[in-house]
């Protein structure tokens, strides 16, 4: 279908983008890769007065090292993320999850920051960022601010971003000595996750020192499985202890029932998939 | 005269690359949507958001005030000229046939039903203007479930008809004298197995959305449409609107897929036709994908109650099917007849002495159903092959052994079934033996036993489908007996051009089936001309005035024979001319490898090109010979054709999550003689993929208010190549006996065969856990739920496995 008519702006820098958004008011919308927004426009579920396209802002592209962190430009495409050697070396969980995003065409257009700012709980990146304790670097009319992942995702399709703010980059800590895995369960290869699990595990020989687990699509925003993490801290790195910890996987979740899956089934999947994600991450 | 004996196989049977590929693959072709005419306006259609409502107020005038808008109208504005959409298959004498206005006039009966039209200078303006139309609805009660619709106090889809029952159609072998009585068979049976199967509603997902352009400015009104059926569209536009047939020209340019979804005469075509006549200027309408899904016709949607009776030794004695078939809110071109295309096939390849089928068509407040790849036969084959597995389980018999015990053996052909069909040829043993060997059947059964014994998280299932189908639609007399309004013949013409090149006109209308390539191969062999020297013309009623189009795996099985016969006429007509040029008696000539030669004399002869030039100049033709080498033929088959084969599927079922993964899939099909193996292979691959999609992925779902929940490809889960296994395919070749090509048709075979193979494999993987059915599509959640229910049942019974 055809979207409602809108104005279009393609600023050259972050400040200009923020100014454009400020001037345009609340009906303006940021366009990143367009893989979620354009379908919503075409179905006329959204009708913004202006699109502010961030595609020309050089600062927002690419991945760089900054001490113990990686800084990923929000406009870096999924495909660029997937092929980036820094990501593969220091944040393999992001690469693992990105490889499951939709299909090649979507990965070439869709962006890392766009999928986070969209804050769809069924998206893969929000739970990965949550598991990694990422920090979101945001530009707005009053300057720049940083927001932790635990604060960034507010509700279904709602993030901490104000209408006149732009997500510039995402900072993730390098994980040295961790095993990671993203376990995604969907109906067909191109579909959203019914449930997904992002897991990172740090082992010391036969013991799990620390585990981080975040769930995709088990609530209106990504959920850290704290119960699992606590049960695993210091636990033996065995299949039995992982399985026991996974009894806590669905704690604190509020999965929906819809045409794709019932809440019961999602709860069951969360337990099974968390165990599988942890087994892979821990090499068990 | 033997035309081609020596040349048989030169082109036919060869893996030719497609003539169509270059323009289709690069997109450099004329799709209907590419067409732009001077003064053309673009239509957008306002559609009902209500499943059932009375239109209490409708005002299009606010739309007229918007920029770019040229015209707007409602159903009431065109009520006297828009015609009623035709249904050509009133399957019973007392069938209920409601009016079907292209634009709703007073009442809407499904979501997505067109209610008003805007024409604008560009598509976007037309789309915007829809929102300005003022319309009010008074909701009426909605009925969606077929059994609820048949209840005494059910809300009525068509109040004036007094019932939601469209028809009840019965075929009973005892009454027809074609077999025994199913009631007696049941009374005498040692084993009776009953099952209810649900054929979920599917949405045909062709690649090119439907599109129509109508130009009323010439002497004829010209209609371009992305349709499978240009000839049928012309006739029905004429009969329904009163515009004379010779004043309508219909063109189906290159068409991007159909699967039955474009075997339709659509509201949108009628609306565009009415709009162009009303405005006196060309109009175009191209639907969005969402509109395709909402209101293009859907497929399947049946409830099947199946009973099979047998003796303890596994000999089947009868089969009975009681169907409820969802018509939707209106009757499309062959909506009522679609389930009946499978009505004769519930016995499949087996010798059932007693046979009964009863089908009741039911109106609901949903999009109409109609033909979708296989049309009736996938449903029949599914029910039969599923219940054969259930019978095998009941008898504790290996499922393939049960099939072998009951199928028609190769030396029993021709075989007349208790449903009254005569299968001309087949060799079920050969196809099955080949498939089992390629599949590694025995090894997989061993692995299955090991996984069961060890309680493996991943269980292995083996699914069988030994199918046959009836296609090559159709003998006109049979269609007449079934109350179908048209015949089933097909036409072809061959035109010899002066330079020896050939134009072939076919009444079939390809939309992805590669007719230009395959027809060229056939003609090359028949006439002894080069493959490259043949042009195949189709899909324009001005060049091809006579034809019944493409569906039901009929193009080659019917149209191909017409083509062979037309070639034969050319060869016969050229003979006296060649004899004249060679100065010999026609009786002394034979036609070999494209040349007329004096029998027994290998010297120089005359080609058809020589004869064509002689006809063109006509300077020196024998007395009394007409200066023409054109050949026209129309072929009406005496029987259907009956492809068959054995499909085997191995699934791995994750018992924790319910996910089904197809590990291997073997298809051995017997489609008779093959013109182009690559094209056949493509048909099998696509067909199997579509059948797997029904088994595991696709389902159109309405909510309780009649809103389509699966209105985009986000929710309607169409599998892609990433979700499908590599297919292992092969063929056996048992020629059809009713015509000289020996071909049987392959367009629907893969879809018909594959669905039960997959579901049988899913159930087989879980049968030892107590599962004996999983409803389609076998989603991970349904499989998980089936395992959970079986475990619950086992626990209640106190014997947990």
Residues of B whose CB is below 8 A from A265: 780-781, 784-785
Shortest distance between the Cα of A239 and any Cα of chain B, in A, equals: 15
Specify the pairing of strand B644-654 against strand B283-286.
unpaired
Residues B696 and B772 in one domain: yes
Identity of the residue in A5, A188, A272 whose CB atom sits nearest the CB atom of B656: A272
Out of B570, B604, B635, a domain closes at: B635
Asked whether residue B508 falls in the same domain as residue B608, the answer is yes
Helix boundaries (H) for B528-654: 560-582, 608-617
Query: What is the structure's pLDDT at B794?
Result: 75
By DSSP bridging, strand B589-592 and strand B69-74 are: unpaired
**Are residues A248 and A225 in contact, defined by beta-carbon separation less than 8 angstroms?**
yes
Q: In 3-state terms, what secondary structure has residue A84?
A: coil
Domain that holds residue B442: 424-469+642-801
Distance between CA atoms of residues A34 and A38, nearest Å: 5
CB contact under 8 A, A265 and B785: yes
Give contacts of A269 with chain B, Cβ < 8 Å: 657
User: In chain A, where are the structural domains located?
Assistant: 7-52, 61-172, 179-282
- Name every chain B residue with its beta carbon within 8 A of the beta carbon of A191: 714, 717
Identify which of A2, A43, A262 has the shortest CB distance to residue B781: A262
Q: Which two tokens stand for residue B320?
A: 């009975």
Residues 6+ apart with CB under 8 A from B16: B517, B520, B521, B531, B676, B678
Give A137→chain B minimum CA distance, Å. 31
Last residue of a domain, one of B601, B635, B669: B635
Which residues, numbered 25 to 64 in chain A, qualify as contacts with chain B under a Cβ-Cβ cut-off of 8 Å?
A: 39, 43
**Mean pLDDT, chain B, as a whole number?**
96
The tens digit of pLDDT for each residue in B215-268 reads 999 889 999 999 999 999 999 999 999 999 999 999 999 999 999 999 999 999
Judge if B794 and B664 occupy the same domain: yes
Residue B797 pLDDT grade (very low, low, confident, very high; cuts 50, 70, 90): low
Q: Check whether residue B686 and residue B585 sit in a common domain.
A: no
Q: What is the CATH number of domain A7-52?
A: 3.30.43.10
Q: Which residues of A touch B781 (CB under 8 A)?
A: 261-262, 265
Tokens of A77: 């495409």
User: What CATH number is given to the structural domain containing B698?
Assistant: 3.30.365.10
For A205, half-sphere exposure in the C-beta direction (CA atoms, 13 angstrom radius) is 0
Q: Which of B258, B255, B232, B238 is nearest to B333 (CA)?
A: B232
Alpha helices in chain A (DSSP H): 14-24, 37-42, 78-83, 85-90, 92-98, 104-109, 112-118, 124-131, 149-152, 226-232, 239-245, 263-282
CB A185 to CB B780 under 8 A?
yes
Q: Choosing among B657, B696, B777, which should be mutated to test the A contact, i.e. which has the most A CBs within 10 A?
A: B657
DSSP 8-class letter at B180: B
Nearest CB neighbour to B290, from listed A43, A187, A188 = A43
- What was the pLDDT predicted at A12? 97
Do B509 and B580 belong together in one domain?
yes
Report yes or no on B535 lying in a domain: yes
Q: Measure CB to CB from residue A1 to each of B127, B697, B785 and give the nearest one.
A: B127
Residue B458 lies in a domain: yes
Lowest mean per-residue pLDDT among A9-13, B452-456, B796-800:
B796-800
DSSP B178: S
The vertex-B350 CA angle with B735 and B725, nearest 5°, equals: 70
Nearest chain A residue to B788 by CA distance is A265
Per-residue model confidence (pLDDT) at position B801: 36
Cross-chain Cβ contact B723/A188 below 8 Å: yes
Chain A residues with beta carbon closer than 8 angstroms to that of B656: 272
Q: Which of B572, B600, B635 finishes a domain?
A: B635
Would B329 be classed as within a structural domain?
A: no
Q: Based on the structure, what is the number of domains in chain B? A: 2
The share of chain B scoring above pLDDT 90, in percent, equals 95
In a domain, B436, yes or no: yes
Nearest CA to CA, how far is B329 from chain A (Å)?
Answer: 23
pLDDT at res. B5: 40
pLDDT above 60 for B3:
no
Positive or negative CA dihedral for A50, A53, A57, A62?
positive
What is the rounded CA–CA span in Å between residue B377 and residue B615? Answer: 49
Coil/strand/helix, residue B581:
helix
For residue A2, the distance in angstroms to the closest alpha carbon of chain B comes to 6
**What SS3 string covers B276-326?**
HHHHCCCEEEECCHHHHHHHCCEEEEEEEEEEEEECCCCCEEEEEEEEEEE
pLDDT per residue as tens digits for the range B506-520: 999 999 999 999 999
Q: Which residues of B touch A103 (CB under 8 A)?
A: 720, 722
ipTM: 0.97
Distance from CA of A192 to the nearest CA of B (A): 8
Domain membership of residue B766 (yes or no) is yes
Distance from CA of B714 to the nearest CA of A (A): 7
Instruction: Please judge whether A268 and B784 are an interchain contact, meaning their C-beta atoms are less than 8 angstroms apart.
Output: yes
Q: What is the pLDDT of residue B796?
A: 67
User: pLDDT-based confidence at B600, cuts 50/70/90?
Assistant: confident
> Does residue B703 share a domain with residue B669?
yes
For residue A187, give the nearest of B127, B697, B701 by CB distance. B697
Residues 93-122 of A with CB under 8 A from B: 103
Which of A1, A39, A42, A184 to mutate against chain B (most B CBs within 10 Å)?
A: A1
Instruction: Using the predicted structure, report yes or no on whether residue B189 has a pLDDT greater than 90.
Output: yes
pLDDT at B604: 82
Other CB atoms within 10 Å distance of the CB of residue B299: 27
Q: Mutate which of B660, B780, B791, B792 to test chain A, going by most A C-beta atoms within 10 A?
A: B780
By C-alpha distance, the chain B residue nearest A264 is B781
- B717 contacts A187? CB cut-off 8 A: yes
Q: Is the model's pLDDT at B2 over the cut of 50?
A: no
Residue B377 inside a domain? The answer is no
What per-residue confidence (pLDDT) applies to B310? 98
Answer whether B657 sits within 8 Å of A187, measured CB to CB: no
- A182 at the B interface (CB within 8 A)? no
Number of A–B residue contacts, CB under 8 Å: 54
Please state, in angstroms and rounded to a whole number, the distance separating the CA atoms of residues B487 and B480: 7
For residue B723, the chain A residues in CB contact (below 8 A) are 188-189
* Residues B765 and B724 grouped into a single domain: yes
Q: Do B715 and A260 touch (CB under 8 A)?
A: yes
Picking from A103, A185, A191, the nearest residue to B717 by CB comes out as A191
- CATH code: domain A61-172 is 3.30.465.10
Stronger pLDDT, B678 or B6, i.e. the higher one: B678
Segment B11-16 shows an average pLDDT of: 95
Distance of CA B724 to the CA centre of its chain: 22
Q: By a Cβ cutoff of 8 Å, what residues of chain B touch chain A? A: 123-124, 127-128, 288, 290, 656-657, 659, 697, 701, 709-710, 712, 714-715, 717-720, 722-723, 779-781, 784-785
In this structure, the answer to whether residues B576 and B649 fall within a common structural domain is no
Q: In Å, how far is A258's CA from the nearest CA of chain B?
A: 10
Q: How far from A184 is each of A123, B51, B568, B623, B639, CA to CA, in Å?
A: 10, 36, 61, 81, 52
pLDDT at B1: 34
Residues of A in contact with B293 (CB under 8 A): none
Contacts of B701 in chain A (CB under 8 A): 259
Chain B environment of A268 (Cβ under 8 Å):
784
Of A2, A5, A259, the CB nearest to B709: A259
A contacts of B712 (beta carbons < 8 Å): 39, 43
What is the CB neighbour count within 10 angstroms for residue B512? Answer: 22
Residues B535 and B656 in one domain: no
Q: What is the CATH number of domain A179-282?
A: 3.30.390.50
Q: Please list, in sequence order, all residues whose beta carbon lies within 8 angstroms of the beta carbon of residue A83, skipping any fewer than 6 positions away.
A: none
* B496 and B461 inside one domain: no
Whether residues B124 and A5 touch (CB distance < 8 A) is answered with yes
pLDDT in tens, A18-74: 999 999 998 999 999 999 999 999 999 999 999 999 999 999 999 999 999 999 999
Mean pLDDT of chain A: 97
Do B655 and B790 belong to one domain?
A: yes
Structure confidence at residue A1 as a pLDDT band (50, 70, 90)? confident
Tens of pLDDT along B420-472? Answer: 999 999 999 999 999 999 999 999 999 999 999 999 999 999 999 999 999 99
User: Would residue B496 count as lying in a domain?
Assistant: yes
**Is residue B580 included in any domain, yes or no?**
yes
Q: What is the rounded average pLDDT of the residues B588-605? A: 89
Q: Is the same domain home to B677 and B789?
A: yes
Answer yes or no: do B779 and A187 touch at CB < 8 A: yes
CA distance B45 to B289: 14
Residue B592 has pLDDT above 80, yes or no: yes
Nearest to A272 among B128, B657, B779 (CB): B657
Q: Does A238 touch chain B (CB under 8 A)?
A: no
CA distances from B240 to B99, B219, B274, B398, B543 (A): 12, 20, 11, 55, 23
Q: CB A188 to CB B720 under 8 A?
A: yes
- Chain A residue closest in CA terms to B128: A4
């Amino acid at each position: 279908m055809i979207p409602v008519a809108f104005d279009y702006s393609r600023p050259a820098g972050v400040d200009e983008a923020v100014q454009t958004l400020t001037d345009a008011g609340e009906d303006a919308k940021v366009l990143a890769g367009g893989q979620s927004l354009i379908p919503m426009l075409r179905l006329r579920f959204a009708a913004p007065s202006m699109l502010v396209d961030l595609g020309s802002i050089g600062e927002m592209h690419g991945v760089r090292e900054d001490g113990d962190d990686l800084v990923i430009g929000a406009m870096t495409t999924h495909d660029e993320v997937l092929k980036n050697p820094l990501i593969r070396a220091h944040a393999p969980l992001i690469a693992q999850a990105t490889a499951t995003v939709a299909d090649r065409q979507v990965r070439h257009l869709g962006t890392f920051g766009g999928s986070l700012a969209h804050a769809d709980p069924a998206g893969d990146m929000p739970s990965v960022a949550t598991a990694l304790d990422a920090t979101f670097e945001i530009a707005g009319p009053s300057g720049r601010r940083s927001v932790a992942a635990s604060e960034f995702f507010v509700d279904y399709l709602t993030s901490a971003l104000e209408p006149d703010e732009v997500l510039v980059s995402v900072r993730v800590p390098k994980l040295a000595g961790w095993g990671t895995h993203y376990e995604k369960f969907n109906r067909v290869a191109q579909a959203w996750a019914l449930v997904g699990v992002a897991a990172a595990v740090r082992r010391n020989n036969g013991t799990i020192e620390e585990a981080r687990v975040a769930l995709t699509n088990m609530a209106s925003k990504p959920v850290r499985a704290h119960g699992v993490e606590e049960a695993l801290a210091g636990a033996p790195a065995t299949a039995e202890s992982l399985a026991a910890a996974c009894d806590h996987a669905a704690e604190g979740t509020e999965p929906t029932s819809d045409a794709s899956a019932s809440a019961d089934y999602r709860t069951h999947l969360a337990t099974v998939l968390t165990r599988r994600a942890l087994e892979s991450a821990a090499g068990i | 005269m033997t035309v081609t004996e020596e040349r048989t196989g030169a082109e036919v049977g060869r893996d030719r690359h497609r003539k169509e590929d270059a323009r289709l693959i690069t997109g450099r072709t004329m799709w209907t949507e590419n067409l732009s005419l001077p003064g053309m306006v673009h239509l957008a259609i306002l559609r009902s958001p209500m499943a059932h409502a009375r239109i209490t107020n409708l005002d299009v005038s606010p739309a007229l005030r918007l920029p770019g808008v040229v015209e707007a109208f409602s159903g009431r504005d065109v009520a006297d000229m828009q015609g009623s959409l035709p249904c050509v298959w009133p399957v019973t004498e007392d069938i209920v046939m409601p009016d079907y206005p292209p634009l709703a006039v007073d009442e809407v009966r499904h979501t997505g039903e067109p209610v008003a039209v805007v024409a604008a200078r560009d598509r976007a303006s037309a789309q915007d203007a829809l929102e300005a139309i003022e319309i009010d609805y008074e909701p009426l009660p909605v009925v969606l479930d077929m059994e609820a619709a048949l209840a005494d106090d059910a809300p009525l889809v068509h109040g004036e008809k007094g019932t939601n029952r469209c028809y009840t159609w019965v075929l009973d072998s005892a009454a027809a004298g074609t077999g025994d009585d199913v009631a007696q068979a049941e009374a005498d049976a040692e084993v009776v197995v009953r099952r209810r199967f649900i054929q979920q509603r599917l949405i045909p997902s062709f690649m090119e959305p439907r599109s129509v352009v109508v130009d009323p400015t010439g002497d004829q009104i010209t209609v371009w449409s992305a349709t499978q059926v240009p000839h049928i569209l012309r006739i029905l536009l004429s009969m329904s609107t009163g515009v004379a047939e010779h004043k309508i020209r219909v063109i189906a340019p290159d068409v991007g897929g159909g699967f039955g979804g474009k075997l339709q005469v659509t509201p949108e075509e009628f609306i565009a036709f009415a709009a162009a006549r009303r405005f006196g200027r060309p109009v175009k309408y191209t639907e969005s994908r969402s509109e395709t899904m909402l209101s293009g016709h859907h497929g399947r949607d049946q409830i099947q109650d199946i009973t099979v009776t047998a003796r303890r030794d596994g000999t089947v004695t009868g089969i009975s099917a009681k169907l409820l078939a969802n018509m939707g809110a209106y009757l499309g071109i062959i909506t009522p007849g679609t389930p009946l295309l499978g009505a004769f096939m519930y016995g499949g390849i087996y010798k059932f002495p007693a046979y009964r089928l009863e089908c009741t068509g039911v109106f609901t407040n949903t999009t109409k159903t109609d033909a979708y790849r296989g049309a009736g036969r996938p449903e029949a084959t599914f029910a039969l092959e599923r219940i054969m597995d259930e019978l095998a389980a009941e008898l504790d018999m290996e499922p393939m052994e049960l099939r072998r015990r009951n199928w028609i053996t190769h030396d029993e052909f021709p075989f007349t079934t208790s449903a009254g069909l005569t299968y001309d040829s087949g060799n079920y043993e050969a196809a099955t033996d080949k498939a089992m060997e390629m599949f590694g059947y025995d090894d997989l059964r061993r692995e299955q036993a090991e996984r069961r014994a060890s309680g493996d998280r991943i269980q292995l299932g083996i699914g069988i489908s030994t199918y046959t189908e009836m296609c090559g639609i159709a003998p006109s007399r049979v269609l007449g007996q079934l109350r179908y309004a048209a015949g089933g013949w097909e036409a072809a013409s061959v035109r010899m051009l002066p330079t020896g090149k050939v134009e072939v006109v076919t009444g079939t209308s390809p939309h992805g089936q590669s007719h230009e390539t395959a027809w060229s191969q056939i003609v090359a062999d028949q006439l002894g001309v080069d493959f490259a020297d043949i042009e195949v013309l189709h899909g324009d009623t001005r060049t091809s005035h006579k034809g019944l189009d493409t569906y039901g795996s009929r193009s080659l099985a019917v149209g191909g024979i017409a083509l062979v016969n037309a070639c034969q006429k050319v060869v016969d007509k050229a003979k006296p001319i060649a004899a004249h040029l060679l100065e010999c008696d026609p009786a002394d000539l034979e036609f070999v490898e494209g040349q007329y030669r004096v029998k027994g004399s290998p010297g120089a002869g005359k080609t058809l090109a020589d004869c064509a030039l002689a006809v063109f100049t006509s300077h020196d033709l024998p007395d009394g010979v007409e200066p023409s080498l054109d050949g026209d033929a129309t072929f009406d088959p005496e029987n259907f054709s009956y492809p068959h084969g054995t499909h085997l599927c191995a699934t791995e079922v994750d018992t924790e999550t319910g996910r089904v993964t197809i590990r291997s899939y073997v298809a051995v099909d017997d489609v008779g003689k093959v013109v182009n193996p690559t094209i056949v292979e493509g048909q099998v691959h696509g067909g199997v993929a579509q059948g797997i999609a029904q088994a595991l992925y696709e389902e159109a779902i309405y909510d309780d208010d009649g809103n389509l929940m699966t209105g985009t490809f986000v929710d309607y889960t169409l599998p892609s190549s990433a979700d499908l296994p590599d297919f292992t395919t092969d063929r056996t070749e048992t020629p059809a006996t009713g015509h000289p090509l020996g071909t049987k048709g392959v367009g629907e075979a893969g879809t018909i065969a594959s669905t039960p193979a997959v579901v049988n494999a899913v159930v087989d993987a879980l049968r030892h856990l107590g599962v004996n059915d999983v409803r389609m599509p076998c989603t991970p959640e349904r499989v998980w739920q089936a395992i959970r229910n079986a475990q619950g049942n086992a626990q209640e019974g106190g014997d947990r496995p």
